[in-house]
A and B are shown apart, each in its own frame.
Chain A
Amino acid sequence: VQTSETHDEL
């Protein structure tokens, strides 16, 4: 799950 700390998009 994406959290606001780790952005996995470019």
Chain B
Amino acid sequence: MNIFRLAGDMTHLASVLVLLLKIHTIKSCAGVSLKTQELYALVFATRYLDIVTDFISVYNTVMKLIFLGSSFSIVWYIRHHRVVRRSYDKDQDTFRHYLLMIPCMLLALFVHEKFTFKEVMWTFSLYLEAVAILPQLVLLQRTRNIDNLTGQYVFLLGAYRGLYIFNWIYRYFTEPHFVHWITWIAGVVQTLLYADFFYYYFESWKNNVRLQLPA
């Protein structure tokens, strides 16, 4: 485990904690896309099938359980919690999941490293994770005055992806035969999706004004 990978995982963990903090403490999910959260739950459910078949490390297993547990509980909160569900921007969060899920599934069926159930599911989860943030970005664009926690949540998620790229560069030079084209391309595409958000995030931070994305 290198420092970029660890920092990436910790940033990812922090993003989930920020979101849970907002939902659990403030009892609000305003500005949070349920569509994106459901896609993440699906991403982790399809990616971590190996949690029961392969043991990598205690760290690995614990983190997988955290991401599975947190993503499903966030979805539960937004859909079913008596108070939280009332703050959900249902009319604004209109992105259709299947527009992302079906192309990702088709791509995974044709472009993968090995044609086994677990491997195709794993590849599907990579493709889906790359685009799962889109409903959230669309919702942010529609929301005037993005609150701090939601802005930080998306920023931390983007930072996590960026750090993973540094992790792959590091591993490429330090580990023999570490070549994973599918992971890398999906990861770079995912990070690029945040470029626009990052620009406005830093602008608002620099000028000390509330984050707002242009329509």
A residues lining the B interface (CB < 8 Å): 1-2, 4-10
Contact = CB atoms under 8 A, between A and B. Distances in A.
A5 B54 contact: yes
A2 B180 contact: yes
15 contacts: A1-B176, A2-B178, A4-B113, A4-B114, A4-B119, A5-B54, A5-B114, A6-B56, A7-B122, A8-B56, A8-B57, A9-B183, A10-B12, A10-B60, A10-B67
Taking chain B's interface residues, is the majority helix, strand, or loop, or is none over half, making it mixed? helix
A6 to B, nearest CB: 5
Nearest to B123: A4
Contacts of A10: 9, 12, 60, 63-64, 67
Given A1-B176, A2-B178, A4-B119, 14 more contacts: A1-B175, A1-B177, A1-B178, A2-B180, A5-B114, A6-B50, A6-B56, A8-B56, A8-B57, A9-B5, A9-B164, A10-B12, A10-B60, A10-B67
Contacts of B176: 1
Nearest to B60: A8
Nearest to A1: B177
A7 B50 contact: yes
A7 to B, nearest CB: 6
- Among A5, A9, A10, chain B packs the most CB atoms within 10 A around the CB of A10
A6 B180 contact: no
Contacts of A2: 175, 178, 180
Contacts of B177: 1
Interface string B180-207: 1001000000000000000000000000
A6 B140 CA distance: 36
Nearest to A2: B178
Interface in B146-192: 164, 167, 175-178, 180, 183
Contacts of A5: 54, 114, 119
A3 B167 CA distance: 17
A8 B64 CA distance: 11
A8 to B, nearest CB: 5
A8 B11 CA distance: 18
